[in-house]
Amino acid sequence: MKQKLKIGITCYPSVGGSGVVATELGKLLAEKGHEIHFITSSLPFRLNKVYCNITFHEVEVNQYSVFKYPPYDLALASKMAEVANREDLDILHVHYAIPHAICAYLAKQMVNKDLKIVTTLHGTDITVLGYDQSLADMIRFGIESSDRVTAVSNALAQQTYELLQPKKEIETVYNFIDDRVYYKKDASYLKEEYGILEEEKVIIHVSNFRKVKRVQDVIYSFQKIQRKVKAKLLLVGDGPEMSFVNKLVKELGLSEKVLFLGKQDSLEDLYSISDLILLLSEKESFGLVLLEAMACGVPSIGTNAGGIPEVIKEGETGYICEVGDIDTVAFHAIHLLSNGELHKSMSENAKNSATQLFHSDKVVSQYESIYYELLNEG
Which residues between 302 and 321 bind ligand GMT (CB under 6 A)?
306
Q: Report the alpha-carbon distance of residue 306 to residue 286 in Å, rounded.
A: 7
Residue 124 or 360: the one with the smaller Cβ distance to ligand GMT is 124
Residue 302 belongs to what H/E stretch? strand 300-303
Name which of 287 and 297 has its Cβ closer to ligand GMT: 287
Which ranges in 61-123 belong to alpha helices (H)? 72-87, 102-110
| 122 lies in the site for ligand GMT, by CB under 6 A | yes
- The verdict on 278 binding ligand GMT (CB under 6 A) reads no
* 258 Cβ contact list (under 8 Å, min separation 6): 219, 222, 232, 233, 235, 249
Q: Of 79, 100, 283, 351, which one interacts with ligand GMT (CB under 6 A)?
A: 283
The C-alpha torsion from 2 through 107 and 151 to 156, rounded to 10°, is -170
Asked if 99 interacts with ligand GMT (CB under 6 A), we say no
- Smaller CB distance to ligand GMT: residue 16 or 71? 16
Contact mark string toward ligand GMT, 172..211, x via CB under 6 A = ---x--------------------------------x-x-
CA distances from 49 to 27, 44, 52, 181 (A): 9, 11, 10, 14
Smallest distance, ligand GMT to C-beta of residue 255, A = 26
Q: Is residue 287 at the binding interface for ligand GMT, with CB under 6 A as the rule?
A: yes
Specify the stretch interacting with ligand GMT by CB under 6 A; choose among 10-18, 56-64, 185-193, 224-232.
10-18
Total number of residues that touch ligand GMT (CB under 6 A): 21
Whole-angstrom CA distances from 267 to 118, 210, 245 are 29, 19, 21
Give the pairing of strands 54-58 and 318-321. Answer: unpaired
Return the range that interacts with ligand GMT (CB under 6 A); candidates 166-174, 283-291, 329-337, 357-365: 283-291
Indicate the residue among 80 and 288 with the shorter CB distance to ligand GMT: 288
CB-nearer residue toward ligand GMT: 179 or 282: 282
Please give the Cα distance from 34 to 4 (Å, whole number).
Answer: 5
* Residue 286 CB, nearest approach to ligand GMT (Å): 4
Report the SS3 class of residue 378. Answer: coil
Asked if 156 contacts 188 with a C-beta cutoff of 8 angstroms, the reply is no
Q: How far is CA 361 from the centre of its chain?
A: 17
| Residue ranges that bind ligand GMT, judged by CB under 6 A | 16-19, 21, 122-124, 127, 152, 175, 208, 210, 212, 283-288, 306
